Homo-oligomer: A and B are copies of this chain.
Amino acid sequence: MKIGILTIGNELTSGRIRDTNSAFIAEAVNRQGWQVSVIMSVGDEYTDIRKGLDYILDAADAAIVTGGLGPTADDITTEAIAKAYGLALYTDEAILKEVRSRLERFRVAWTPNNAKQAMFPEGAVPIYNPTGTAWGFALKRADKLIAVIPGVPREVMRMLPEGVIPLLKEMESGAGTAVVSRTVKLFGLSESKVDETVSGLDLRVEGLSIGFYPRFPENHLVLTVRAPSEEEARKTLSDVESKVEGALRKYIFGHDDDTVEGVVASLLTQKGLTLAVAESCTGGLIMDRITDVPGSSLFLERGYVVYSNKSKTDLLAVPAEVIDRYGAVSEETARLMAEGAVKKAGTDLGIGVTGIAGPTGGTEAKPVGTVYIALADRGRTTCRLFHFRGERRRVKEISAQWALEMLRRYLTGACPHD
């Protein structure tokens, strides 16, 4: 099935807001094994909306439309679509009541223009909005479908999977095709190596499609299976997943909505272990990511950003002679930072990161991108040397990701101290 996406709003054509809905919808559509034939954004103009919709319905089986459903004067999507097809508008009284009571609950004063949000073109079926006042709607034109939802990304994230995708699935097959999918998240293996490994597997399975999404510094594989029944689809997916996991296990840190910091947080909490982090070149980014996880105060005792040599000595007892002799960016310093974190904070585990993020500070022996990451428990310390490429922010990001990944591997016992 081919789908076209139309996002509507002057804030998009003016560049005022970045259109994140299109990519989100495109990915979701592709996960169902469908294709996106065109993505389009137009302003809040009757003619532009009509022409854009005509273009899409000419090229695709269905249009997913976002934006312009609110109460203000420039929200004209519903009216524009009704006009385009010569349809009258009707008010759904039950929805009008729901909109009113929702506004009351949020203590927003009722104004007559809010009634627009309960109006639909005749023949349209309303689509429930679980997080906002503006309902969406679906309209059939001949054998094609137009699904319209609000443009607020938070609302799209709910209404697309809950309201729109089911309608498209229904439309696709009277006979019924089940689609299941699973995202496998990898880190530590290059794009081309992941690609090569997956290509090398025997995955000639009917109804399977594999999507590859590089999301720096991670790589995501999306496995989608279409089959006559959900049971069959799930079985095939599970077989495929086993093969993929067998080949790439070491690099898989999670699935679907997992983050590496979230996985690390769960493991630390489960095991009742505490952590202290000592960062130099990553400058606080590791801790920023860990503290994004609610409940991280349960295991994160404290952290140090030891930017100066003096602070490494004062706070972590890294001897000045070691720094003088081997350098602030050295395996010796990284190890002593991780060990100092464990000792000073009294935690079970410690991380120490030191490196050269650039753009200056590199030497021939230690060029920009040289980073040492050490992981210490109370008995042993491991340190890895990395040579990263790219500019300052990129070096910080991949260093933080590796620190978290080293923790994850240690905690899963997959590769103790590796």
Given contacts A13-B39, A212-B16, contact A301 B291 (CB under 8 A): no
CB-CB nearest in chain B for A358: B294
How many residues of chain A get a CB closer than 8 Å to chain B's CBs? 75
Q: A102 interface residue, CB < 8 Å from B?
A: no
Query: Is A160 located at the chain interface by the 8 A CB criterion?
Result: no
Selected contact of A36 from candidates B15, B22, B23, B35, CB within 8 Å: B15
Residues of B within 8 A of A292 (CB): 283, 392-393, 396
At the interface with chain B, which of A26-34, A87-95, A232-240?
A: A26-34
A304 interfacial by beta-carbon distance below 8 Å: yes
Q: Which residue of B lies closest to A279 (CB)?
A: B284
A213 to B52, CA, bound (A): 25
Q: Which chain A residues (16-49) contact chain B, with CB distance < 8 Å?
A: 16-20, 22-30, 35-43, 48
In the assembled complex, how far is the CB of residue A416 from the closest CB belonging to chain B, in whole angstroms?
26
Q: A41 — which chain B residues lie within 8 A by C-beta?
A: 22, 38-40
User: Given A305-B277, A311-B345: A288 and B291 within 8 A (CB)?
Assistant: no
A357 to chain B, nearest CB (A): 8
Could you say which residues of chain B place their CB within 8 Å of the CB of A36? 13-15, 43
Bound CA–CA A43/B59 (angstroms):
12
Contact B39 A12 (CB under 8 A): yes
A55 contacts the other chain (CB 8 A): yes
**Given the complex of chains A and B, what is the CA–CA distance between A281 and B300 in angstroms?**
12
Residues of B within 8 A of A344 (CB): 314
Q: Is the CB of B15 within 8 A of A29?
A: yes
Q: How many copies does the complex hold?
A: 2
Partner of A13, one of B17, B24, B38, B303: B38
User: A16's contact among B14, B211, B286, B311, by CB below 8 Å, is which?
Assistant: B211
Indicate which residue in B48, B214, B294, B300 contacts A392 across the interface (CB closer than 8 Å): B294
Across the interface, do B291 and A283 meet the contact criterion of CB distance under 8 Å?
Answer: yes
Are A305 and B285 in touch, CB under 8 angstroms? no
Is A152's CB within 8 Å of the partner chain B?
Answer: no
Inside 8 A of A392's CB, which chain B residues have their CB?
292, 294
A412 interfacial by beta-carbon distance below 8 Å? no
Instruction: Please measure, in the bound complex, the distance between the C-alpha atom of A16 and the C-alpha atom of B22, giving whole angstroms.
Output: 12
A128 at interface by CB-CB < 8 Å = no
Checking B16, B40, B277, B306 against A40 with a beta-carbon cut-off of 8 angstroms, the contacting residue is: B40
**Which residues does A use to contact B, with CB under 8 Å?**
12-20, 22-30, 35-43, 48, 51-52, 55, 59, 211-214, 277, 279, 281-288, 290-292, 294-297, 300-308, 310-311, 314-315, 344-345, 357-360, 392-393, 396
What are 8 inter-chain pairs, A to B, with CB distance below 8 A? A16-B27, A16-B213, A19-B23, A37-B48, A39-B40, A282-B291, A301-B307, A305-B305
